[in-house]
Structure 1
Amino acid sequence: MDPLEIEDTSDWLGCPTPLEMYRHSCHMLENEVQELTTQLRKARQDIFGLVEMHAAEAKECARLRAELKAVSSALDDESRKNSDLTMTSNYLLCSKDRLISEYHRQLNEFMGGKLPEPTTNTIG
């Protein structure tokens, strides 16, 4: 195609010049940079808020871990006390049974063997 046959449209109304097109592109880029700057500022604020929330939750987690450790230690102490009391109680029950058996034997000797045999009382 011959360059002379191409219609020159540069003087038509509504057709932007190259300078106008560059200015328009520049304006669009400026708007985009402003929008991205606004988004970046909001993202930084969101990140800062999340960091503060994380710090608060980490502090709460540490407090709860310390509380759990204290409660666990107290539970262990109470469990040991319970075991000691159970062992002492069992020992006392066995001692009581032996003492009763000994008293029954002595009383039976004193009475001349006239007492009935004791019945064993099982707890359970």
Structure 2
Amino acid sequence: MVSTPMAIEFRTEVHGVEADLVSYVRGIYRLEHRDGRDGICDLSTVYERDSLWPAVPGDVIALDRDRLASMPASYRMLAYYFDLRGYDVDMNMPGEDRPESADAVVAEAFDWLNS
């Protein structure tokens, strides 16, 4: 098992403004040796925080504050982005804002490792 920091980054458009979105996560990899080769057999993520800002300095992204307030803090901007596009966003993904969910992902990986 390996835990590593990761970032999901992309340039997009939000409310007509070109923007950069970055979501920081902790990747929990499960590795196995099979048929003489090492490989990744599972990857789980724990969301930590994210950011959204205009790609062009001086531009302003007018966010819907009520909609934004309903999103989990650890992946708020990512959830907002997908919600705007009509995706059904899981509001219960493991995140640092919900420590019990983050701890459960790590505990499950350690249980797997020790089995």
TM-score, normalization by structure 2: 0.22
Higher relative contact order, structure no. (Cα contacts within 8 Å, ≥ 6 residues apart): 2
More strand by share: 2
Larger radius of gyration: 1
More helix by share: 1
